[in-house]
Structure 1
Amino acid sequence: MQILVLTSNPDVHAVLPALDLLPHRVRTCRPSVQEFLAAGRCDAALVDGRTQPFAACQLSRGLVATARGIPVIGVIEELVAPQIDEDCAVVQLVLASAGPAEIDARLRLAGRRRLVDPEPEAAAAVLAVGPFVLDVHAWTVTLDGAPLALTHHEFELLKALLLHAGRPLTRAQLVSECDGWTDGTGPRAVDCHVRAIRAKLGPHRGLVRTVRGHGYVLPWQPPGTSAPAGHPAATR
Structure 2
Amino acid sequence: MSIAQLSPAAIRRADLAEVAAPSSIGTPTPATAPAPRIRAVPEGTEARGFVLYVGFDEAKAAAAGTSLHRVVEALKALAEEVAPGSQTYAAVALAPEGAGGRDVDVVRLALQDPSALAKHRQATETTDDADRHPAGVIVDISRKRVLLDGDSAGLTYKEFELLQYLVLREGRTIERAELISSLWDAADEDDVPNERTIDVHVRRLRAKLGAYEDIVRTVRGVGYRFDRHADVSIRQASTPSPDRF
Q: Same fold, TM exceeding 0.5? A: no
Larger Cα-atom Rg: 2
Q: Which has the higher contact order (CA 8 A, sep 6+)?
A: 2
Structure richer in strand, relative to its length: 1
TM-score by length of 2: 0.42
TM-score by length of 1: 0.43
